[in-house]
Amino acid sequence: MIASLDLARFPFGVAEREALALRRAGRRSEASFSRLLLPMRLETMPLPLPRMTLAYWFALWPDEVALQRFRAGPLRRWDRARERLALTLRPVQAFGAWGGADPLAGERSEPAPGPVVLLTHSRTRVAKLSRFLVTDRGVVRELRRAGGRLWSDGFVDDPARLDSGTVSIWRDTAAATAFAYAPGVHQRAVKAQRDGAWFPESWFGRFAIEAAEGSWRGLPIL
């Protein structure tokens, strides 16, 4: 199994059309799991605002041939974007559930040197939403200051079900692990959500970057 993460920046008014077209195509693709991630501006927490010119796409594929067929087909629409990054990823570690199950079905691999992608996802209980948003404001500030963070953003993939998450790119596994597990705001937030049962479902995935095409905000990804 391999994974893909595609990021695109479009002129205002175009991103929504392109994103919805890709979601429809993804449902008919060879992907075992795919999600259109609608970017949200985390800096405005506790009231996240949509990023109207961006669209992200995450998917899992049986092999690289299937991914390349999709990139040469429906995903070619995104090549017209103002800015575009296509990442091919190798699953390293995951736990939890997204849509009722672990999308990676327990697949793991050995970590390797180099940049990694972290993807988190959660479904928030309605009664806990305000607490989550207020608490997350401090986590966002800590994330932006984290050593080794190359880029990060928030997303919503099912607004009606309060499904949201974060996607981030890190210099290496050590930097990502230090942010996730070191004592501080993030660990206090994790404890608070566990003690308060904010999420009936949550998922975490770590991926090694196998290949990168294009550019994104001048990041030194590979």
**pLDDT (tens digit, 9 = 90+) per residue, 104-146?**
988 888 877 899 999 999 999 999 888 888 887 778 788 888 8
Which band of pLDDT confidence, cut at 50, 70 and 90, is reported for residue 50?
confident
Please give the domain boundaries of the chain with CATH numbers for all domains. 2-214 (3.30.70.100)
Please state the φ and ψ torsions of residue 3, each to the nearest 5 degrees.
-125, 160
pLDDT score at 222? 60
Q: How far is CA 200 from the centre of its chain?
A: 19
Q: Please state whether the peptide bond connecting residue 46 to the residue before it is cis, i.e. omega within 30 degrees of 0.
A: yes
Q: What is the mean pLDDT of residues 1-21?
A: 91
Map tokens 């963070």 to a residue: 149
The structure's pTM equals 0.91
